[in-house]
Amino acid sequence: MDEKKDQNLEAPTILVTGGTGGIGFQIARTLVSCGARLTVTGRDAARGIAASRELSCLGHPVRFVQADLSDQKGTLELAKIVLETHSRLDVLVNNVGGVWNRRETTADGLEKILAVNHVHPFLLSEALFQLLHSSSGKVIHLSTGYHLLVRVGPKDWLQQRWDSGMNVYGRAKLISLLAGRALCQRWAREGVVIQFADPGLAKTPLTQAMDATYFPWYGRWLFPAVHWVQNRLPLSWAGRQAAALALDRNDRRPGLYALPGGLRLPAFSSVGDRSRGQLFLRLTLEEWITPESQRILAALSQR
């Protein structure tokens, strides 16, 4: 093995979206401390520059890219920048997410929680596939245990149900998990692995801004207990599993789900889960990703 290849093995190149604060920043801290060559994204330029400087003190210089992933245009603009500035990409950590206590839509006409937590991370992964493919890379989606508390139905994939921000968030993450697992076997044959990491409960700027109105009426009595737990768990704990997956070159099980405590579950799923996954994969590719974004994706794939 030549020196250049050896250096690449020792220093993976990793992109962390939303890596300038919260759980994303903690993931970035762990990665750069372990020798990764890192790029982080964020919406705020001043905050991003400050974060990249702080992270750079821990290892290799960290690159910051200002990006707004709240719509498909901004997501694809980030992809173009990464493709122009990176000769390789070993891991994409899709950390950006969000939850709101009222229904909003994006510039593309999608329900915002579904878009930010599923469609846009999926779109970014698709746009960077060739770069990931060239290095036999990984995509890691941050998930949530809340997906176990919800069920999806026609009103959800038609974006017609709003019962609470957290329930919609849980269903968006469930759709992300099912669609990702439907895609992961196909991508694994091409040498790109899709995995999921659950950060668990932790005190973040987002969770601290939330109140009981984010939860369904029947679960609001639990909100004080949830806050109590969050305030006692460090952000470094929440970012541990995503960072561990990103640095683990040996565990390449498609669709793997990493729990907060360190347990990793293989992607066993029922026939029903597989059929729903295929449905959500088709909806994402054919309906939720806009025709203009599909055109740009096609152009990027020909680079």
Residue 241 has pLDDT above 70, yes or no: yes
116-161 per-position pLDDT tens digit: 999 999 999 999 999 999 999 999 999 999 999 999 999 998 999 9
pLDDT of residue 1: 29
CA 108 to chain CA centroid, nearest Å? 20
Range of the domain at 26: 3-301
Residue 19 has pLDDT above 70, yes or no: yes
Average pLDDT over residues 220-245: 85
Q: If phi over 0 gives left and psi between -120 and 50 gives alpha, with beta otherwise, what is residue 35?
A: left
Residue 108 has pLDDT above 80, yes or no: yes
Q: What percentage of the chain exceeds 90 in pLDDT?
A: 79
Q: How confident is the model at residue 4 (pLDDT cuts 50, 70, 90)?
A: very low
**Domain count of the fold of the chain:** 1
Taking a C-beta distance cutoff of 8 angstroms, is the pair 56, 276 a contact?
no
**Bridge partner list, 257:** 196, 265
53-105 per-position pLDDT tens digit: 999 999 999 999 999 999 999 999 999 999 999 999 999 999 999 999 999 99
167-197 per-position pLDDT tens digit: 999 999 999 999 999 999 899 999 999 999 9
Q: How far is the CA of 247 from the CAs of 24, 111, 238, 289, in angstroms?
A: 15, 33, 16, 30
Mean pLDDT for the chain? 92
Residue-level length of the chain: 303
Q: What value does the CA radius of gyration of the chain take, rounded to a whole number of Å? A: 18
Q: How confident is the model at residue 9 (pLDDT cuts 50, 70, 90)?
A: low
Burial code of 214-252, b = ≥16 C-beta within 10 A, e = fewer? Answer: bbeeeeeeebeebbeebeeeebebbbbbbbbbbbeeeee
Residue among 96, 115, 97, 95 nearest 105 (CA): 115
pLDDT of residue 211: 87
Question: What CATH number did the domain enclosing 95 receive?
Answer: 3.40.50.720
The rounded distance, in Å, linking the Cα atoms of 247 and 57 is 20
Q: How far is the CA of 132 from the CAs of 10, 197, 264, in angstroms?
A: 17, 19, 23
Per DSSP, 90 falls in state S
Taking a C-beta distance cutoff of 8 angstroms, is the pair 191, 138 a contact?
no
SS3 of residue 150 by DSSP: coil
Q: How confident is the model at residue 298 (pLDDT cuts 50, 70, 90)?
A: very high
